[in-house]
A and B are shown apart, each in its own frame.
Chain A
Amino acid sequence: MRQSLLALLAKEPAHGYELKQALETIFGDAYPSPNIGQIYVTLGRLEKDGYVRSVDVEQANRPNKKVYYITATGREALETWVEEPTEGPRVRDEFFMKLVLAPMTGLSDRMALVNRQRRHYLALMRDLRELAERTDPANRVALLLIEGAMLHLQADLDWLERCQEDLP
């Protein structure tokens, strides 16, 4: 979330609640809706690191609100983040660990593990499909995120099939 807040602040100064709303508008249902507490904690850390500063703005009849803006250091950090290549997706290492290790312990056989995992992935796929159906067709960003998640899931399923074929 650090980088997304920095990116939003690079566009214009904002207070915490505005940032929350902006994230929700951009990513829709596909983004884990950030709670306002998390946002303030992250802003606090960014401030401590010197990436953002805040000013108190007085409001009529209401408590002051803190408006955050990005610093030169913050901008540099954001640029580095944008320009560096992003890590590829991790493989499902936890499941693979189970698959390799569980039969040795006599706890479960591989066939059963793979079968259970396949059904679980299909259940997740159903969730993603339903999420896509509920998402506003105009929200390209959210829909592309969901499609990306679906493609990853498809790859996980194909890999599961390979495991079932090749591991005795």
Chain B
Amino acid sequence: MTADAPVVRAVNLVKIYQTGGLPVPAVRGVDLTVEAGEFVAVMGPSGSGKSTLVHMLGGLDTRTSGEIWLDGRRADTLSESGWAVLRREKIGFVFQFFNLVANMTVADNVELPALLGGVSPRQARERREYLLGELGLADRAEASPAQLSGGEQQRVALARALANQPRLLLADEPTGNLDSRNTRDVLRLLGKVHGQGQTIVLVTHDARVASMADRVVSLLDGQIVDDGAIPKSRRRPLGAAGDVVELRS
């Protein structure tokens, strides 16, 4: 690890899927740098390449060309097992269609990455209890994933991704299946871990989630069309935000 290297650096990243017939360019020359502690929201229409991009950043999909650097180390040239080690040590991943281990309890699903990461069973349990508690799932710890609703599974997947306090959290639509109360729990937890310095790259359509980020990256047809900070709004400061909701006079 280099002390002040960005957590993520992608250079001219390209992904072309070739399944049988025509090649499908999903990501077309993306440059992206994410500094330590930054929270970046990735937005864009369906099919614009958001999932493909974060999958490549997590080594779950191979790049067609371009470079990926994680924490100052070249990663795109790693073998599959090299990626597996890197992920275990540095990356928490929340999939768009969460994949939990079916024959393990919720508690074991969440503790596993921490245990693999080498923390003591007690620490793993404490971290798990904290995360499930924050996400309103404390009483589901002994359930198996199949006994959970989609929204519950999604929150477990987030807890699992954060179990290891990873250098980088990659999350693909982590609130896609949640109602507004559960979304609020997830937002609160994301806000907390971000406040503690967690680096986050998160794909979302949900503006509430995106508005937590420092920066928004917009994809269109596999390219970045906008990348910049979410500004301070020009409205009057807190406490006088009353006119946000306009009632007719």
Contact = CB atoms under 8 A, between A and B. Distances in A.
Interface in A126-147: 126-131, 134, 145-147
Contacts of A149: 244-245
Contacts of A125: 207-208, 210-211
Interface stretch (A10-18, A56-64, A111-119): A111-119
Given A31-B247, A33-B242, A134-B238, A121 B232 contact: no
A145 B41 CA distance: 26
Interface stretch (A71-79, A100-108, A150-158): A150-158
A44 B11 CA distance: 66
A157 B209 CA distance: 13
Contacts of B238: 130-131, 134
B245 A145 contact: yes
Given A119-B231, A122-B210, A122-B211, A128 B247 contact: no
A29 interface: yes
A49 interface: no
Nearest to B221: A165
B126 interface: no
A53 to B, nearest CB: 22
A134 B41 CA distance: 24
Contacts of B242: 29-33
Interface in B198-249: 205-208, 210-213, 216, 218, 220, 225-226, 228-233, 235, 238-247, 249
A111 B229 CA distance: 17
A147 B180 contact: yes
18 contacts: A1-B247, A29-B239, A115-B218, A115-B225, A120-B233, A122-B216, A123-B230, A123-B232, A124-B233, A124-B235, A125-B207, A126-B233, A127-B233, A129-B211, A131-B241, A134-B239, A147-B180, A150-B207
Given A123-B231, A130-B241, A146-B244, 17 more contacts: A1-B249, A27-B247, A29-B239, A32-B245, A111-B226, A119-B226, A119-B229, A120-B231, A123-B233, A125-B207, A126-B212, A127-B235, A131-B241, A145-B245, A150-B207, A161-B43, A161-B45
